[in-house]
């Protein structure tokens, strides 16, 4: 299998963050994925998630 695409990496990061990542997909990520892609994607997802939460809270208050 080839390296996962950017869309596949994003899908995997979101699924893992939501806690619904399947064991099959997790194993594929470890076998064919690049650690740096998942770390960078995870950091970007976390920063975006926090920014969205802060924006929602500031709009409500």
1 occurs within a structural domain: no
- Among 56, 27, 21, CA closest to 42: 21
Residue 47 lies in a domain: yes
Q: DSSP code of 61?
A: -
DSSP letters for 3-58 = PPPHHHHHHHHHHHHHT---HHHHHHHHHHS-HHHHHHHHHHHHHHHHHHHHHHHH
Q: Is residue 16 part of a domain?
A: yes
What range defines the domain where residue 22 resides? 6-60
This prediction has a pTM of 0.78
Q: How many domains does the chain have?
A: 1
Q: pLDDT tens digit string along 5-50?
A: 888 889 999 998 888 888 888 888 888 888 888 999 999 999 999 9
């Amino acid at each position: 299998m080839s390296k996962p695409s950017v869309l596949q990496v994003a899908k995997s990061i979101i699924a893992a963050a939501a806690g619904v990542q399947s064991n099959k997909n997790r194993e594929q990520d470890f076998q064919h994925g690049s650690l740096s892609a998942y770390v960078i994607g995870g950091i970007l997802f976390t920063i975006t998630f926090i920014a969205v939460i802060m924006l929602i809270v500031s709009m409500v208050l």
